[in-house]
Amino acid sequence: MIIYEDSGLYIEKEVSEIPWLKIFTKKPYKELGDLPKSLRVRLWDAYDIIEFEMKKYYHPKKINMASFANMLPRVHIHVMARFEDDSYFPNPMWGEKLREANLNLPDESEFFEILKEKLQNFNSFNIPN
């Protein structure tokens, strides 16, 4: 499910028990270094916004970021809010499941609306210290 899209990238939700988004470039670049600098900066700005808003909205134990791209050899960044009582913590989400989780998280549709607003205002976004 795509939750945000602009001329250079799009962000989709990964189906999961945790808040998990993936940032993709629209063009299928293979490596981060292949991106034009302006798009690379935009991608990292998007990552910063997602991480900041995930921490603020969900209050996770940790934000995980990954970019393996072995199975899908194109630039994309995973951004995951992790909780001590999620099914895999402290293992990676691709690792061994340790328990059945029953997370009581706030409504994701509200989070997506907040995120869309922040992403649309890219140029004026500043992370407070």
CATH of the domain at 67: 3.30.428.10
Check residue 129 and give its pLDDT.
Answer: 36
For residue 86, is it within any domain? yes
The pLDDT score that the predictor gives to residue 72 is: 76
Tell me whether residue 29 is in a domain.
Answer: yes
Q: Quick check: is 125 in a domain?
A: no
C-alpha 102/C-alpha 76 separation (Å) is 28
Looking at the domain assignment, is residue 128 inside a domain?
no
In a domain, 127, yes or no: no
Residue 126 lies in a domain: no
pLDDT attached to residue 123: 54
Residue 79 belongs to some domain of the structure: yes
Domain that holds residue 110: 2-120
Task: Give the model's pLDDT for residue 47.
Answer: 97
pLDDT of residue 127: 39
What's the total number of domains in the chain?
Answer: 1
| Residue 35 belongs to a domain | yes
User: Which parts of the chain sit beneath pLDDT 70?
Assistant: 123-129
Instruction: Return d(Cα 122, Cα 49) in angstroms, integer.
Output: 9
